[in-house]
Structure 1
Amino acid sequence: MIGKASLLEAIAGTNRGLLATDSDKNAIAVAIAQLEGYNPTPKPLEATALLEGNWRLLYTTSQELLGIDRVPLAKLGQIYQCIRTATATIYNIAEISGLPYLDGLVSVAARFSPASERRVDVKFERAIIGLTRLIGYQSPDRFIQDIEAGRKFAAIDFNIGNSDRQGWLDITYLDEDLRIGRGNEGSVFVLAKK
């Protein structure tokens, strides 16, 4: 699809948005809007086979996520959003590299519930922030298995209270390997299935 290739070309070299200039951001916004107009999955919440899986972030306008890279001695690595439709759970995992032996991650687990054919309400439940070697982090799948097994980690690991963090996400484009979403804070997310 030409629109998809145009979007991927526009975001190439922006390091998920960290290096995007204003001109880049405008071109990417146009490419996203054009692709959303051709969404092959108008009811994405019914397409659980497409939604399910680990998604790697290609681009975002979320300053909250991109801001992780501004922490001294930290460099933002891969960012994943892992969706488990059977349990209506989302796991956001940001890998962080730092000084030797100080690689870490920031992770948030949330529950989602359908609000419309393409919108989910999201309720954040647990946050985990720590060093990968102390957590035993090897991959998103293994980490999620440990969380679902009820493991407490040697990290900052806490439950998020009921009223602390909630939001919504519109899934505006979904195919077998690309997903675009728009969040309640105005952020855009472009992800590729891992």
Structure 2
Amino acid sequence: MAFCACALASSQSVPTFRVPAASGLCASSSSKWSSSSPIWFTNGEATLKIVSLHCTRVETLNSARFDRGLNKTIGGNFVFPFTQYLRTRRSTRLSVVHAVSTGTAESEETEAPEESTSQLVDNLLYSVKDSDRGALLGPEAHGNVANLVSRLEKMGMPEPLKSPLIFGDWNVIYSSNPTSPGGGYRTWLGRLIFRTRDMIQSIIEPDGVVNIVRFALFGFIDGQVTLKGKLKPLDSKMLQVDFQPPDLQIGPFKFSYGGTSMVKISIIYLDKDIRLGRGSRGTVFVFSRR
């Protein structure tokens, strides 16, 4: 027995692939058979890859009515007493569910679709959720965040500093170096004494920057550190921020301390929801819009 597997093509001749009975397809005694593993056939000119194949074998029971006994007549019709014998007719019906015609018999690898920008953003936000801005993440989790940031960086706009999306209020939700945003307030001991409640960066047109760290001293005394500065673009992505001495408020008491400071940071990704930055020392920051 042989069957033909055909790959359909519009306005073209249909290649035919003859498969001998020795192939073993539908040779099982069961009436139904299927294969989900790829099966390859060739006709010498092209190759057909059958990804999924279903087979049904239909057996028809035919009764031959004959006997040498007496015939009887009922209503003008002859009814033959008969001795039954079986003649089995087998027909094989093959259904190619998915066939791929290729020039060679090499196996095909299906590439997974790349994640969209929105999917990467969602994955990034999920990865840093409830991590105390990255302080609670281990090396493997930080590596996953770095991978997502790297992929988003490749999708970023070429000149983010010219986009109005940069302005507004942003939450600091991740830092690859936990002590970078907030300095000593974000060390292990600092986080124990000064329980961080909010870390906010406001970028105000045309060149104003305000960083705010809100905390609870020993968990119950409200406090806040405020840094005000001016930003200066250095190129299409990197900017420099010059800060005044920080202002500290604990309960009703306010005072300034320390000196001026300067930081450089590149905007490596920007959209309406998140902003990614990389400091001059390689620290990665993730901001979400408030």
> TM over 0.5, yes or no?
yes
Percent identity between matched residues is 23
- Select the residue among 77, 80, 84 that pairs with 2:200: 80
Within the alignment, does 1:92 sit opposite 2:207 as a pair?
no
List per-residue Cα deviations over 1:71-116 (Å, max 9, x = no partner): 2532111100100122x11111111112476211112111111100
Q: How does 1:25-36 map to 2 (within 5 A)?
A: 25-36=142-153
Give the equivalent residue in structure 2 for 1:157: 256
TM-score normalised by structure 2 residue count: 0.54
State the 1:123 CA deviation.
1.1
CA distance in 2, matches of 1:79, 1:185: 20
Give the equivalent residue in structure 2 for 1:115: 234
Give the equivalent residue in structure 1 for 2:38: none
Give the equivalent residue in structure 2 for 1:178: 274
What secondary structure does 1:103 align onto? strand
Give the partner amino acid of 1:83.
I
Q: Is the 8 A contact 1:110 1:126 kept in 2?
A: no
CA distance in 2, matches of 1:91, 1:84: 8
What secondary structure does 1:170 align onto? strand
Give the equivalent residue in structure 1 for 2:165: 50
Name the larger-Rg structure: 2
List per-residue Cα deviations over 1:50-69 (Å, max 9, x = no partner): 01111001111232336524
Within the alignment, does 1:129 sit opposite 2:248 as a pair?
yes
* Greater relative CO (CA pairs within 8 A, separation 6+): 1
Give the equivalent residue in structure 1 for 2:180: 64
Greater fraction strand: 2
RMSD: 1.9
CA distance in 2, matches of 1:14, 1:170: 23
Aligned residues: 168
CA distance in 2, matches of 1:38, 1:122: 25
Give the equivalent residue in structure 2 for 1:147: none
TM-score normalised by structure 1 residue count: 0.79
Give the partner amino acid of 1:96.
F
